[in-house]
Structure formats: structure tokens, C-alpha cells
Amino acid sequence: MQTLALIGNPNCGKTTLFNLLTGTSAYVGNWPGVTVEKKEGMTNGHRILDLPGIYSLSPYSPEEKLSRRYILDEQPDLIIDVIDATNLERSLYLTNQLAELGRPLLLVLNMEDLLEKEGITIDAKRLSQMTGAPVVQISASKGTGIEALQAQIEKSLSEKKLPLCPLFSNFVERYISEIIGDDYLHQIPKGRQMRWAAIKLIEADELFLSSMPAPPPAFKTYIEKARKELEAHFEDDPEAIIIDQRYKVAEHIAKDCQIKKKTKKGFEFDSIATHRFAAIPLFLAIMAGVFYLSIGLVGGYTTPLLEELFAFLGEQVHLIADRFGVFPLLSGILADGIIAGVGAVLTFVPQLFVLFLLLSILEDCGYMARIAFIMDRMMRTLGLSGKSIIPLVIGTGCTVPAIMSSRTIEHQKQRELTVIVTPFIPCGAKMPVFALMLTYFFPGKWFIAPMIYLLGIVAVVVTGLLARALDRHKETNAFILELPRYQLPSPRNTWLQTRERTLGFIQKAGTIILLSSVIIYLLSSYSFTLQAVDAEQSMLAMLGKLIAPIFAPLGFGFWQASVALLTGIAAKESIVSTLSVTIGTANLGALFTSDSALSYMTFILLSSPCIAAISAMFKELGSKRKLLYAVLWQTGFAYLAALLVRLIVLLTL
């Protein structure tokens, strides 16, 4: 089996192409750095890899190191370099580096459909001549040119032709050929290009040097001398000289292959989206609109309907069971376990579908990077980066991809802090609990729902300020972000993403929630001696009563609430299904009061996220100790905040 590697600048459409070639639906968005890990798939019987987007093969950033190590160690049979055709020059800078790796190369000019609008024409034939690599023009978002690409992939795989290496100025080339002539270079691992190695020696590339045996003293002195002479000639350090040379080659090729016409600028959305005064109100209005449409409008209409439907189904099961004399345990499992538990979760499918749809459009259109731009200054005072806003927005849908998207934040401390605060933003799965509690205890008081989000934001702010105050080295760090072009979200992509996320939610309802509902029902119907008993004497009650006292100060020291919190660790939707199995959605008032309902919501909002999100946190934090601190902080903060909320409510109402 042969291996293909997809590589290119961030946001050039690799993942969209990957999805087209493999028929899958990997996560796509329109900001640089959506793909943070390599993804694997199959196309036409070949293995294909989607590597994270990179601008260069420098030895510094984690994504660049990952892509570089992959190509060097795994030696893919073909490198497919995806080029944003509207950004040819900068893309060719990466192409120049890929050409030196000694693997066959195929250039894919993506976004062909946008060229005309941008007033650009590209001579693909000339580009192919100059780079020595075949060129295919496609539009991944429109799905055009894919057949030609597939044919060219087969052709390239059988031809195994290597591309041309970019040639630098004579002054540099002289040193390169002298270094290649030395015996030392014959020790480089097989398959690696001598020219590439020589350039790495000139650059004194740390990663390369550490992978090689120590050079003999005479050779080492020669390299030092070469580096000094280059420095003196170009008045810059050797690493910078090589970058400069590469960009010169890229400029030369771009100039020769593309004609750019000046296009008239029409109305630009950016004139409002990043406007000095309008930008932040607009962002808030957009987010409010997203929630109003999904939760308020759609949810307000569908939720009561579905609730009635599931209540009706449950009653029917009992009626039919009674008539046919079915063993009550069975009808109980079905009606009070499965239908009550799973139904409580499925009720929220329509509004989550709309939420996921709107978030997906937001992610696709290019607005996310603008939010990072306008919010950076504010986020910085919290010890976060403008890029931290992206996980926070995505976190309103699901915390897991949100935590993963924090990886593009350059600075480690800011990245870790972002990972810790992202779960404070309530995800879609927490929504059912809030909706259930709010409609029961505060009908018609619409203003409480936004307060929940506000409280999540307050938790982010408090954590940020605290972390900043505790941080002794107030180092500054880089925030460099490409602002992608706005684009209409492709219907295919939007649909695939929304469908995938919604199905994921339904799937959880059909698996984890179903199973836990049955278990909860059984545990709440039997005692430890396996006698059918009242819920109060059941196994579940006994277990719940062990932890319940901890929550007594918060006002929900009864076992049902504690058990629901425990099942919430598996999936937050379980909280609702557990409550509806153990208490019943219509009887919440028997145990909760309005103050304990509020403190319960606060605790759920802020305490540690579900197990999937915890493992995502572990992956990004990379240490058990940090994870423990994070979870303890979240849970401790949740406890104190819930206590405070309850006290305020008790004192003021």
C-alpha cells in the first residue's frame, strides 16, 4: 500500500480536500490551524494523511515539527502540496522546502473558483515547468477538479519523479556544493537529500544537528567559516539568509506564473466586523442571536412538544403492559428508565441541531479569526490570548473540540490557561439541565438563562485574573494570526458538520444515556438484598447518601442530586435523565427549591466537565498533576460559587 501526505499552509483547504478524497467528514473550519493532529484515511486503496497546516518546516512550532518528522521518517510515496491559489507566493515558500525532502511532489492549486474574483490568472503549465512537479487545479469547496487530481495521483505514484530543488544565489550555492562534497554528508539517514542536509548545516538547524553524529573537527571548522562568510556578505544570520533566498525563489516563480489585475474593492464586511466601536457590540449581538435562535426560538417551540410526546409514550407503555400483564420490572425499565431517561435528552435535539448549524456557519465563514483580532487586547489582561476566544465560542457547542482548538495558541501558559477555563463555558450537553430547571422553577423569567452564560464568563475572568496575579514572570509573547478571506460556508461542509455533531449527541443518548438510565432505574428499584423496594431504600439511595452530605450546604443534600452529578461525569446529558428517572421531571419541586435549583445549576455549570472533555484536557495539559489541579480548581470554584449564589438568593429573596 502506498502513502500520500497532504500538506500546505494553514487554512488552504487540506481538510476539505481530505474529506472529498476519503468520503469522510473530518472537522473543518475557516481559521488557521483547525487540524492540529494528523488524520488518516483511505483513498483509492492508498493511505492518505492530513497533516496540520504549516507555513514552513522550521524546528520551532509543534505542528511544524510534527509534519517535518512525519515526512522525513515515514517517507510518504507522494507529498501532495495544497496551495491556496490566491496566495501563491507565500505557498511557494513552503513548496520550496518540500521539494528538497527527496519525495515525489504534486502541487494542487486550490480555490481555483476564487481566482477570477480576485483578478488572478495562473499559468499552471509554467508553474509545473519551474517546479518540476505536476500541477492540478481544483476547488475543494466546490468539489471540482477532483477526478483530474485522482488521475494525477496515480500517475505520480507510478512515475516517482522528484521535483526540482530551488536554486539560490551563486554565493550561497557555492557553499552548498562544497558541503555536499564532504564525506560527512554520506552519513545522513538514507532517503534524505544531501542538498537538504547541507542547507540544514548552514542554518545550524537544532533538530537536524541533534539527529546526526558529531562532525569531524575540520569539517566543523569549515561550516563555521562558511557561516561567518555568509553572515559578512549578507549582513544577516545564516538562517535568515536561507529564508530570504527561498522567498526570492518563490517571488520569482510567482511573478513568472501569475498575472494579478487590480480588482475593485466592493463593500467589505470587515469595515463593520473589525470596526473600532462596532466590532465588539456586533460580536455580542451575533452570539446572542445564535443562542436566541437555537434555544429561545426553536427550543422554546419544540421542547414542550417533545416532552409531551415522551410522557405520552411512557403512559402508553404502562397501559399496554397492564392490559397484557407484563412483568412490572420490564415495563418499568422501558417506561421509567429508557423512555424517561433517553427522552429527557432527545427533547433537546432540535435546538442543538440549530446551535450546531449556526456555530458551523460561524466557523466556516472566516469570522472566528476576526473575533480573535478584536478581542486580543481584552483577553490579554486576563492572561489569555485573542486566540483563546475561539475555544470559548466553540465550547458553547461541545467542550472537546474547543479544548483541542486551543492548540494554535503559541504560548504554553496561555494555552494551558485556556484549556482550564474553556469548560466554564456551558456546552450543549449542559443545556438540558438548565432548561429543565428554569422552566420548572422560573417560568417566564427569560433573563436567568443569559445570566448562566454570564456566570461562565465571570468564572473565566476570575480564573484569568487570578492566574495572572500569581504568575511571577509576566512575559509577553507572540500573537500572529493570518486573517483568512471571508467565504460563504459550503452547504456540503455545513451539513456534514452539523449532522455529525447532532448524530453524535443522539448516539450518546442511544448508548451511554440508555445504559445509564437502565442501570439507574434498576439501582433505584432494588435494595442490596435484591428486594424490590421504594426508591428511598434502594441501592442507589444508599450510595447517593454517602456523598449527599457534602452538598447539604449548597441546598441539594439529597441523594438524587448527588447521583445525577456522578452520572454527569460520564456525560452531562445524564444529569437530566438521572433526575427524571429518580425524581421525575414533573416532581422536581418536591426536593429542589428555587435557591437550591440555582445553586445546583451553578455547580453543574462550573464543576469539572465530562470524561471526554477531561481526557481532552489531559492531552493538552500533558501532565497528570496539572490535570488534577485543573479539575480541583474547577470543582472547588464551582462549590464556592454555588454556595455564594445560594446565599445571595436566600438573603435577597
110 or 502: whose CB is closer to other proteins?
Answer: 110
Q: Where does this chain touch other proteins (CB under 8 A) — which range of 86-94, 154-162, 179-187, 220-228?
A: 86-94
Q: How far is the CB of 240 from other proteins (least distance, A)?
A: 6
Taking CB under 8 A as the criterion, the residue among 113, 231, 307, 376 binding other proteins is: 376
Please report whether residue 495 would count as binding other proteins according to CB under 8 A.
no
For the window 544-583, what string marks contact with other proteins as x by the rule CB under 8 A? Answer: ----------------------------------------
- State how far the Cα of 641 lies from the Cα of 44, in Å rounded to an integer: 55
- State how far the Cα of 547 lies from the Cα of 540, in Å rounded to an integer: 11
C-alpha pair distances (Å), 508 with each of 294, 572, 583: 20, 10, 22
250 or 588: whose CB is closer to other proteins?
Answer: 250
Contact of 249 with 96, CB cutoff 8 Å: yes
Interacting residues of 305 by C-beta distance below 8 A, sequence separation 6+: none
Q: How far is the CB of 518 from other proteins (least distance, A)?
A: 52
Taking CB under 8 A as the criterion, the residue among 276, 323, 472, 473 binding other proteins is: 276
Contact of 575 with 419, CB cutoff 8 Å: no
Q: How far is the CB of 369 from other proteins (least distance, A)?
A: 8
Secondary structure element (H or E) that encloses residue 214, with its range: none
Please report whether residue 291 would count as binding other proteins according to CB under 8 A.
no
Q: In 23-145, which residue ranges form alpha helices assigned H by DSSP?
A: 62-74, 88-98, 112-118, 124-131
Residue appearing with cell numbers 451553578: 602
Q: Which of 457, 397, 467, 420 is nearest to 617 (CA)?
A: 420
243 or 569: whose CB is closer to other proteins?
Answer: 243
Please report whether residue 480 would count as binding other proteins according to CB under 8 A.
yes
What one-letter code names the amino acid at 433?
V
Number of residues that bind other proteins (CB under 8 A): 38
Please report whether residue 388 would count as binding other proteins according to CB under 8 A.
no
Interacting residues of 372 by C-beta distance below 8 A, sequence separation 6+: 31, 385, 386, 387, 389, 390, 481
- State how far the Cα of 385 lies from the Cα of 387, in Å rounded to an integer: 5
Q: Which of residues 58-77 bind other proteins (CB under 8 A)?
A: 58, 60-61
Q: How far is the CB of 596 from other proteins (least distance, A)?
A: 41
Dihedral of CA atoms 253, 256, 262, 267 in degrees, nearest 10, equals: -30
Please report whether residue 240 would count as binding other proteins according to CB under 8 A.
yes
Taking CB under 8 A as the criterion, the residue among 267, 277, 327, 447 binding other proteins is: 277
Q: Where does this chain touch other proteins (CB under 8 A) — which range of 16-24, 136-144, 479-487, 513-521?
A: 479-487
Q: How far is the CB of 192 from other proteins (least distance, A)?
A: 21
186 or 265: whose CB is closer to other proteins?
Answer: 265
Q: Where does this chain touch other proteins (CB under 8 A) — which range of 170-178, 315-323, 420-428, 476-484?
A: 476-484
Q: Where does this chain touch other proteins (CB under 8 A) — which range of 56-64, 401-409, 455-463, 606-614?
A: 56-64
Measured at the alpha carbon of residue 93, what is the angle toward residues 370 and 234, in degrees to the nearest 5?
110
For the chain, state the CA radius of gyration: 29
- State how far the Cα of 11 lies from the Cα of 32, in Å rounded to an integer: 5
Please report whether residue 483 would count as binding other proteins according to CB under 8 A.
yes
Which stretches of the chain bind other proteins, using CB under 8 A?
Answer: 55-56, 58, 60-61, 87, 89-90, 93, 236, 239-240, 243-244, 247, 260, 270, 274-277, 279-280, 369, 372-374, 376-378, 386, 476, 478-483
